[in-house]
């Protein structure tokens, strides 16, 4: 039977029907250990009871009224995010996805910069989304070709190469947009020197430093936000994925004076920050703070990274916290290994042709780590 879905994804090898914590079950009742979390989304695992209860309660109370009217939960979530980001005076725009959170950041940079100072510089190898603007911000020219012409106002410089960024900046540039760890680009962490250098460059030239925390944000790397590893404070931070633990929500935070560039009518979304998604985010943040997920991700990430490094067939391991890539020995096809692992009951993906991405729940147990590593060891041998 031909699929009623548009042909944008390769054939899906399995159909999942249920999840609990780090476990998934398919239509045939087969159990899997989920070390991918829907692409770093379900940080608290599947069907977390606090999130499920919050959703059910909110669904019975109020789903949606639009942003023409006030609601209670969104502002609470925004205040918590502001505290975790460490800005204390920032403001949040809620969106529905990572790409939309970045669209907000790009529009904010353009409004803040004014006419003629609108260019956003990002890194080669980056990933910022699939809308036309975020696709152009994404530093992967091969993904651009089919959709040319893309919106004007984007440039790219070499990852972790401060000099290349310095070279490319001119008065038309409003902002630099970077991931703390390039996720889709192969789990490539930034260096602390690079992030410090970019902060200084932005201060010297009067640019916004915008950090895309869509994949890295909310504990996954072992800090609340990836930039916090480097001790720099950005002007704009975007996030999505883990914020709703699977309920679509994104957010763009900006320093208050930057956020104030927007006035009513500049940007909008029908759903952004609506009570259902915001109540999921509020529950997620409550659990994350109670569980101290950054500390858990640091500890479990250390354990998992050390165990993976011992697996025959793994050449080296990179990443921060629980956002990990296992680079395989030369000649091993990561796609095939991910497929074999799925057959063996472990969900991971090939983030490049030679590396697996491993991003388990931030609440993953030591036993689950042992089980996942054992499955991978069996598959690779």
Interface pick for ligand PLP out of 212, 223, 327, 368 (rule CB under 6 A): 212
Q: Report the site for ligand PLP in 97-116 (rule: CB under 6 A).
A: 97-99, 102
183 forms part of the interface with ligand PLP (CB under 6 A): yes
Tell me how far, at minimum, the Cβ of 221 lies from ligand PLP, in Å.
12
Residue with nearest beta carbon to ligand PLP: 98
Name the active-site residue from 93, 127, 209, 227. Answer: 127
Whichever of 39 and 303 has its CB closer to ligand PLP, that residue is 39
| 210 is an interface residue for ligand PLP by CB under 6 A | no
14 to 53, contacts with ligand PLP by CB under 6 A? 39
Q: State in angstroms the smallest separation of the CB of 38 from ligand PLP.
A: 10
* Selected binder of ligand PLP within 214, 254, 342, 355 (CB under 6 A): 214
The dihedral sign for the CA sequence 94, 109, 185, 150: positive
Three-state DSSP class for 347? strand
- Give me the catalytic one of 212, 227, 230, 235: 212
Token duo for residue 16: 């999942």
Strand pairing report for 119-123 and 173-178: parallel
Q: How far is the CB of 363 from ligand PLP (least distance, A)?
A: 21
| 127 in active site | yes
CA distances to 12, 36, 281, 326, 345 from 33, in Å = 17, 9, 24, 17, 6
Residue 317 φ then ψ, to 5°: -125, 135
With respect to ligand PLP, which residue has the nearer C-beta, 133 or 307? Answer: 133
| Cα dihedral 156, 160, 163, 168 in deg (nearest 10) | 10
Piece of the chain touching ligand PLP by CB under 6 A; list 212-220, 225-233, 254-262, 298-306? 212-220
Residue 241 a catalytic site member? yes
8 A C-beta contact, residue 217 and residue 239: yes
| DSSP helix, strand, coil percent of the chain (3-state; round to 5) | 40, 20, 40
Residue 127 interacts with ligand PLP (CB under 6 A): yes or no: yes
Among 34, 82, 103, 184, interactor with ligand PLP by CB under 6 A? 184
Query: CB pairs under 8 A, 24+ apart, for 325-334?
Result: 325/186, 325/187, 325/351, 325/352, 325/355, 325/356, 325/357, 325/358, 326/355, 326/356, 326/358, 326/376, 327/354, 327/355, 328/354, 328/355, 328/356, 328/380, 330/354, 332/380
CB of 212 to ligand PLP, least distance (A): 5
Whether 212 sits among the annotated catalytic residues: the reply is yes
Residues of this chain that interact with ligand PLP (CB under 6 A) are: 39, 97-99, 102, 127-129, 179, 183-184, 212, 214-215, 240
Active site residues: 127, 212, 241
């Amino acid at each position: 039977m031909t699929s009623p879905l548009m042909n944008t994804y390769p054939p899906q090898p399995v159909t999942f029907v249920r999840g609990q914590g780090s476990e998934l079950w398919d239509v045939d009742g087969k159990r899997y250990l989920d070390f991918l979390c829907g692409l770093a989304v379900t940080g608290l695992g599947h069907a977390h009871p606090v999130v499920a209860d919050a959703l059910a309660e909110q669904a019975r109370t109020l789903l949606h009224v639009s942003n023409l009217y006030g609601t209670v939960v969104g502002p609470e979530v925004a205040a918590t995010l502001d505290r975790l980001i460490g800005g204390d005076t920032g403001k949040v725009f809620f969106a529905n996805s990572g790409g939309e959170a970045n669209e907000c950041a790009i529009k904010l940079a353009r409004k803040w910069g004014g006419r003629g100072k609108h260019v956003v510089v990002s890194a080669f190898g980056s990933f910022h989304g699939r809308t036309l603007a975020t696709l152009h911000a994404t530093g992967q020219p091969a993904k651009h070709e089919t959709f040319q012409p893309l919106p004007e106002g984007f440039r790219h410089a070499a990852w972790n190469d401060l000099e290349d960024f310095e070279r490319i900046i001119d008065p038309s540039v409003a902002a630099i947009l970077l991931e703390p760890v390039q996720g889709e680009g192969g789990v490539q962490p930034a260096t602390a020197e690079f992030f410090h250098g970019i902060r200084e460059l932005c201060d010297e030239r009067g640019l916004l430093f915008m950090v895309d925390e869509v994949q890295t944000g909310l504990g996954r790397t072992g800090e609340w936000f990836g930039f916090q590893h480097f001790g720099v404070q950005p002007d704009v931070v975007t996030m999505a994925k883990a914020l709703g633990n699977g309920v679509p929500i994104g957010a763009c935070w900006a320093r208050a004076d930057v956020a104030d560039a927007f006035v009513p009518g500049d940007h909008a979304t029908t759903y952004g920050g609506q009570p259902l998604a915001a109540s999921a985010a509020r529950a997620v943040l409550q659990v994350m703070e109670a569980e101290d997920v950054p500390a858990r991700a640091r500890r479990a990430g250390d354990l998992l990274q050390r165990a993976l490094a011992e697996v025959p067939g793994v050449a080296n391991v990179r990443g921060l916290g629980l956002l990990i890539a296992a680079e395989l020995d030369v000649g091993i096809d990561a796609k095939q290994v991910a497929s074999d692992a799925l057959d063996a009951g472990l969900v991971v993906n090939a983030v490049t042709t030679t590396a697996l991405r491993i991003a388990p729940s931030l609440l993953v147990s030591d036993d689950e780590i042992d089980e996942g590593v054992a499955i991978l060891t069996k598959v690779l041998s």
